[in-house]
Amino acid sequence: MSDSEHHDNKVDGLLTQPSLYWSKTYLSSRRIKYVLIVSVAIGQVISCWSGTETHGDRKRACDNLDQSPLSQYSHTPLVVTMLVLLLSAVVAVSVGTPLSLQDSTPQAFTVNLDLAPAQRWGHVVIKFSKLAKDAHKVIASLVPEDAIPLVEEIGSELDSYLPLEYADEMRGIATAMNASLGDIVLVNLAYDITAFCTSIVCQDSKGQIWHARNLDYSYGDILRSITIKVDFQKGGQTVYTGVTFAGYVGLLTGQRPQAFTVTVDERDQGQWWMNLLIAILDQTAKPLSLLVRDVLATSPTYADAVEVLSSTDTEADAYFIVGGAKSGEGVVITKSRIGADDLWYMNEAAPGWFVVETNYDHWVLPPTDDNRRDPAVNAMKAMGQGNISVTSLYNVISTHPVLNNKTVYSIVMSAAQPTALASWIRTP
């Protein structure tokens, strides 16, 4: 049976026996009373897909569902629980009052991609004795206590939700940490869409492309203590590098030498229940951080990376900011779940040599209580194209309120000069 036939049969099963499908696959007996709500949602999504053949058709149809009356059920415990398990819990992150931050350098590790996936991360996570406890602390704040058994169910059926390579890496991490596999899975998914960030791609006067970013999160005390720099190697050679968190297999910040750099910024768009249903029904939808890692591992050029990031279905909206290794290569991809809403190239953004993305669509004004965009733009203009360097970009991303007390780490990198990569943990 082909993949398309398998997918069609799965959808047909949902249409003909939705209650049976959900009760067997996702529900415990005490939650069956919520089947009808979820089944109605599935029916709406399937209906919106009926007769659509292109990504554009699907996207327009599904976007219309954001206005669906189903949004009244956003309080339903089952739906909330399943969202947490399959995507993440959305954490409200506000940019706090800026503080004087102290810098430290992330611990550096090598992950050997020639090893079996379950063996790749053990030497990393054992360096962080509190990792399992901290992970559980984050989970406890996000997931209702009565949902914890469902977390374990997700862990037991991990291969149904994630690519085998990454599922095995998570198993290896859980074993090395003596932690619950469900906790490890949920932490990995939760990091995907809860980051408030600032990313900048720019070109210096000699044509070299540079990329700078701050990553801001809640749980800063925990995340700063587990922030690491990782070289992913094959045959003893670095294929790509990322700054990430111990226990987290995806990447939100990465560099492929002589090819491209990429960062992910959170985009708060659409109904959250649509993210859940897309993840369940569309088998091509990927978690953001795992897509970025795939692209870093397999895309040989900037153009290829932009194409894959723009066209792959994702479990949530996001901004992908990509810088290349050649003059003129820089873009902000405003990504919806299906396809891209916009590609904003550096040479289209006045004054033509840099582009700034925070967490808002570039064609709308940022809110007055979280305007990091204008200070970053003003700092770039004050620096000037002829003065771009690691130090000057560090100063730009250390400008208030671009730097704030939620900032976990900062990084400056250039695919054309991979050894220039520098990163800092920012601690109040």
Indicate which residues carry an active-site annotation: 197
Burial class (CB in 10 A: 0-12, 13-18, 19+), 138: buried
Q: What angle do CA 236, 237, 243 make, to 5 degrees?
A: 110
Q: CB–CB of 269/90 below 8 Å?
A: no
Helix pair angle (148-156, 181-190), 10° resolution: 100
* Residue 369 burial (10 A CB sphere; 0-12, 13-18, 19+): exposed
Burial 252-261 (b: 16+ CB within 10 A, else e): bbbbbbebbb
| Token code pair at residue 116 | 């079996």
* Residue-level length of the chain: 428
Quick check: 380 and 372 in contact, CB under 8 A?
no
Residue 247: DSSP 8-state? T
SS3 310: helix
Three-state DSSP class for residue 155: helix
Tell me: cis bond preceding 418? Omega within 30 of 0 counts. Answer: no
- The dihedral sign for the CA sequence 243, 244, 246, 249: negative
Residue 427 is which amino acid? Answer: T
Rounded distance, CA 41 to CA 32, Å?
15
Burial 299-326 (b: 16+ CB within 10 A, else e): bebbeebbebbbebbbbbbbbbbbbbbb
Burial class of residue 395, CB neighbours in 10 A (0-12, 13-18, 19+): middle
DSSP annotation string for 109-150 = EEEETTS-GGGSSHHHHTT-TTHHHHHHHHHHHHS-GGGHHH
